[in-house]
Amino acid sequence: MGTRNLELEVMRYDPEKDKEPWFQSYTVPCNEDWVILDAINYIKDNLDTTLAYRWSCHMMVCGSCGMMVNGEPSLTCKTFVRELPDKVRIEPLENFPIERDLVVVLDDVIQKLHQVQPYIIRKDDPPPEDQEYIQSRGSLAKFKQLTMCINCMCCYAACPQYSLNKDFIGPAALALAHRYNRDNRDQGKSDRLDILADHDGVWDCSFVGACSEVCPKHVDPAAAIQQMKVDGAVEFWKQKMGIPGDKS
Amino acid sequence: MAIAKKAVVWGLFAAGGTLSSFVFPALIALFLLIATGNVPNGLQFEQFHTFASSWLGKACLFIVLFLSLWHAAHRLRVVAHDFGIRKDTLVANTVYAVAAIGTVLAAFYLFSIS
Amino acid sequence: MSRNPYVRPISTTTWYMRHGRYKVYVLRELTSFLVMFYSFLTLFGLYALSTSPERWEAFLVSQQGAGMIVFHAVALLYFLFFQTFPWFKLAPKAMPVQVGETKVPDNAIIIGHYVAWAVLTLFIFWLAGVL
């Protein structure tokens, strides 16, 4: 198995010692089949145990290992070394405050995920205990893609509107709201409307589309947000004309 | 109410964007043709004036101008924000005022063609 | 262990230089100037049309010239590649169509837009007497 020496330039920041972040270089002998997370783990195991970073599953389902790889928001367990040049710059996810080294503060986004009420909201009674909700494959197809989000926050790192305005609720939160609005078991669209229709909700998005481009799970939050804008515009005119909105 | 203003403005932006995407290439191509000195028959005074006198002609021209103006206005508001001009209310009022003036002028000129 | 999170500064005026996709986005958004420009140019034409035949002739003459040819040619290409074609490409995202279980493929919607655009353009050219 061939190995290639990669030079990793990794952003470091010690909150107790450093005034600002700086770069440290490491030379890592990488196997052909490695992902960049393997290289970072190599640094931790063999070169520098002080390096702090998040990772867990190593299989693109936990969303922990998001970082900037040569300026691109990436899941480091999904970014193959064979697709990278010899020099690789590793930085913490853009648009988030740096806690330490490659660890970022995610409080803002976690709070926004809560804000959209990401759970089934019922106005009618749920089906009786011995029955289930009826959901056809067609109904599931309407929102299944949106359920794939692993909360890696690469979309927030890519979104320029979020970088310019931290009040913007952002791609993952909006995609999550849309996931429930599109779920036929849910009847909470009107409950979510206030947050979404607010000027820091869907309207802050200018359809740059970077979020969908970087999303490792192909959730396509940009599409979700545009659909919500259409929904919002249609809903406005329906209200004006006195047409009752659907319960969901 | 927040949803009201943004929803309406975005609706105009979306409709105007769709319409201008479809229509403006032809429009620019016509200006290009005129620039070469070859004015097509339909744009000679007689024909074009007749077209613009008809209610259908007036409606088409007005809708294209109205939606395109508001589309451009809203987008310019976002462009200003993207370039670091953060006085959003001032920018919004300015661009929408320009669109409103354009709309009124369009209506006025079209109305006076008979 | 005390927390001292570091906020990386970004420029509100040059942030788009950081990545190719942002530069493309900005170029796309700048086509709005063209939309505003051609709207007002058309308005100016309507003013001339509504005033007198002489005014209209003068307007047509004023629009001639090598400079105008270059400007309109460049504007046309810029508009096509940074407004019309991107708009068509993004259209299926805003209006997904699902028949039963299957989603109508994006390409179908995009091609539909191109066909409609071609037909409309030919119609406008026919109306204007170009064809």
Q: Which two tokens stand for residue B43?
A: 């744009």
CA distance A196 to A209: 18
Q: List, in sequence order, the alpha helices (H) in B1-114.
A: 2-35, 45-53, 55-82, 88-111
Both A196 and A213 in a single domain? yes
Residues whose CB is less than 8 angstroms from the CB of residue A3 and which lie 6 or more positions away in sequence, other chains included: A29, A30, A31, A32
Residues whose CB is less than 8 angstroms from the CB of residue C106 and which lie 6 or more positions away in sequence, other chains included: C92, C93
Per-residue model confidence as pLDDT tens digits over C105-123: 999 999 999 999 999 999 9
A245 is a domain residue: no
ipTM of the complex as predicted: 0.94
Instruction: List the single range of A118-132, B95-109, C67-81, C103-117 with lowest mean pLDDT.
Output: A118-132
Is residue A88 within 8 Å of residue A10, measured between CB atoms?
no
For the domain that residue A41 is a member of, what is the CATH number?
3.10.20.30
Average pLDDT rounded to a whole number, residues B41-70: 95
Q: What pLDDT is attached to residue B1?
A: 47
- The shortest C-alpha distance from B61 to chain A (Å) reads 25
Burial track A176-195 (b if 16+ CB lie within 10 A, e otherwise): bbbbbbbbebbbbbeebbeb
Last residue of a domain, one of A104, A129, A148: A104
Q: What pLDDT is attached to residue A245?
A: 63
Q: Is A197 left (phi over 0), alpha (psi -120 to 50) or beta?
A: alpha
Both A147 and A195 in a single domain? yes
A246 is a domain residue: no
Both A130 and A154 in a single domain? yes
Q: List, as one string, the DSSP characters of A185-232.
A: T---HHHHHHHHHSTTTGGG-----HHHHH-TT---HHHHHHHHHHHH
Both A116 and A229 in a single domain? yes
Given a cut of 90, whether residue A198 has pLDDT beyond it is no
Phi, psi of B18 (to 5 degrees): -65, -50
**Chain B residue with the nearest C-alpha to that of C115:** B22
Is residue A143 within 8 Å of residue A178, measured between CB atoms?
yes
Is residue B52 within 8 Å of residue C67, measured between CB atoms?
no
Residues in C closer than 8 angstroms to B16, CB to CB, are 35
Per-residue model confidence as pLDDT tens digits over A58-117: 999 999 999 999 999 999 999 999 999 999 999 999 999 999 999 999 999 999 999 999
A247 is a domain residue: no
Q: H or E segment at C72?
A: helix C66-79
Interface test with B, best of C24, C35, C81 (most B CBs within 10 A): C35
Per-residue model confidence as pLDDT tens digits over A208-243: 999 999 999 999 999 999 999 998 888 888 888 887
A248 is a domain residue: no
The CATH number of domain B2-111, selected from 2.60.40.1180, 1.20.1300.10, 3.30.70.980, 3.90.76.10: 1.20.1300.10
For the domain that residue A165 is a member of, what is the CATH number?
1.10.1060.10
Q: Which of C34, C1, C6, C29 is nearest to C16 (CA)?
A: C29
Q: Do B82 and A164 touch (CB under 8 A)?
A: yes
Domain extent at residue A206: 107-240
Q: H or E segment at A49?
A: none
CA distance A201 to C112: 31
How much is the pTM?
0.93
CA distance A70 to A11: 12
Q: Do B6 and A199 touch (CB under 8 A)?
A: yes
Q: Which of C4, B96, C91, C127 is nearest to A230 (CA)?
A: C91
Q: What pLDDT is attached to residue B3?
A: 61
**Chain B residue with the nearest C-alpha to that of A231:** B7
Neighbours of C81 (CB within 10 A): 13
State the count of interchain CB pairs (< 8 A) between B and C: 156
Both A99 and A111 in a single domain? no
Given a cut of 60, whether residue A248 has pLDDT beyond it is no
Q: List, in sequence order, the alpha helices (H) in chain A.
A: 36-42, 107-115, 137-141, 154-158, 160-164, 171-181, 189-197, 210-214, 221-240
Residues in C closer than 8 angstroms to A213, CB to CB, are 21
Q: Do A233 and B7 touch (CB under 8 A)?
A: yes
Q: Which two tokens stand for residue B69?
A: 């103006």
Number of continuous H segments (helices) and E segments (strands) in chain C: 5, 2
Q: List, in sequence order, the alpha helices (H) in A54-135.
A: 107-115
- The shortest C-alpha distance from A244 to chain B (Å) reads 16
Per-residue model confidence as pLDDT tens digits over C28-71: 999 999 999 999 999 999 999 999 999 999 999 999 999 999 99
Both A154 and A203 in a single domain? yes
Residues in B closer than 8 angstroms to A232, CB to CB, are 3, 6-7, 10
Q: Do C36 and B83 touch (CB under 8 A)?
A: no
Q: What pLDDT is attached to residue A243?
A: 77
Number of domains in chain A: 2
Greatest mean pLDDT among A126-140, C28-42, C89-103: C28-42
CA distance A59 to A76: 10
Q: Which of A178, A196, A177, A181 is nearest to A246 (CA)?
A: A181
Given a cut of 90, whether residue C103 has pLDDT beyond it is no
Per-residue model confidence as pLDDT tens digits over A141-179: 999 999 999 999 999 999 999 999 999 999 999 999 999
If one looks up domain C13-78 in CATH, what number appears?
Answer: 1.20.1300.10
Neighbours of A198 (CB within 10 A): 16
Q: What pLDDT is attached to residue A115?
A: 93
Q: What pLDDT is attached to residue A202?
A: 92
Q: What pLDDT is attached to residue A130?
A: 86
CA distance B64 to B52: 13
Per-residue model confidence as pLDDT tens digits over C74-90: 999 999 999 999 999 99
Both A114 and A235 in a single domain? yes
Average pLDDT rounded to a whole number, residues B75-99: 95
Both A17 and A121 in a single domain? no
